[in-house]
Structure 1
Amino acid sequence: MAEVLPHPERSEIQIESVLQALADPVRLRFVRELAKLGCDGAPCGSIDLPVTKSTRTHHLRILRESGVISVRPEGTSRISTLRRDDLDALYPGLLDSILAAKR
């Protein structure tokens, strides 16, 4: 059975952690791609990022631990999903504003 990774509860998500996670261009790119895919999420390796596998793992851990994404095991893959409902409930309009910002 695949390891279940720890995620913060909605009440534990802090704005500082979210903003810090989204401030990195690689992580922001990953979140933008997840947002385009919708609520079903995507296997972690299916979104093209200009980094090594170990660096990708690091970026996904930061996004997960900050509460921006959730990661669940599915077979031999890990599926990443944007925690839009949680972020919208805690910080209305923040995610939409960040995703809409010019690059």
Structure 2
Amino acid sequence: MTIEQRKFTDDTRVHIFKALADPTRLQIIRTLRDSNTELSCGEVGDLCEASKSNASYHFRTLREAGLILVRKEAQTKYIQINHGTFTTFIPGFLDSL
């Protein structure tokens, strides 16, 4: 691994761990893991008891860290866990929640 690749990987890990360092975002990840399918942003917000604006902020943070995938269909956004990120950077993490 080159120095540039290591720096990219370390920067990615820092971004991931910062995103996970919040109880609401952990609850969102746990909710998505338990559902084992994609859910609408509204459904996740309701299950996590987060206001629309608060949930939106947390979804953006998780998306930017590569922890969730977002799909838009008409007016509705659907989110799901990005298993590839968890497998690559923090294997076993989802099982520990």
| TM-score of the superposed pair, with normalisation by structure 1 | 0.73
Deviations along 1:47-68, one digit per CA (max 9) or x if unpaired, are 2223321111101000000111
Q: Which has the higher contact order (CA 8 A, sep 6+)?
A: 1
| TM-score of the superposed pair, with normalisation by structure 2 | 0.77
Is the alpha carbon distance of 1:16 and 1:96 closer, same or farther for their aligned partners in structure 2, counting shifts above 3 Å? farther
Partner of 1:6: none
Contact 2:33–2:94 (8 Å) recurs in 1: no
**RMSD between aligned residues:** 1.9
Contact 1:14–1:66 (8 Å) recurs in 2: yes
The SS at the match of 1:59 is helix
Is the alpha carbon distance of 1:95 and 1:15 closer, same or farther for their aligned partners in structure 2, counting shifts above 3 Å? farther
The runs of at least 4 aligned residues of structure 1 exceeding 6 Å deviation read none
Deviations along 1:38-94, one digit per CA (max 9) or x if unpaired, are 1x3100110222332111110100000011101110222101010113321333223
Higher helix share: 2
Structure of greater Rg: 2
How many positions carry a matched residue from both structures? 87
Q: Can you give the 5+ residue segments of structure 1 that lack an aligned partner in the other structure? A: 1-10
CA distance in 2: counterparts of 1:16 and 1:96, whole angstroms? 21
Partner of 1:20: 18
Measure how far apart 1:95 and its partner are. 3.2
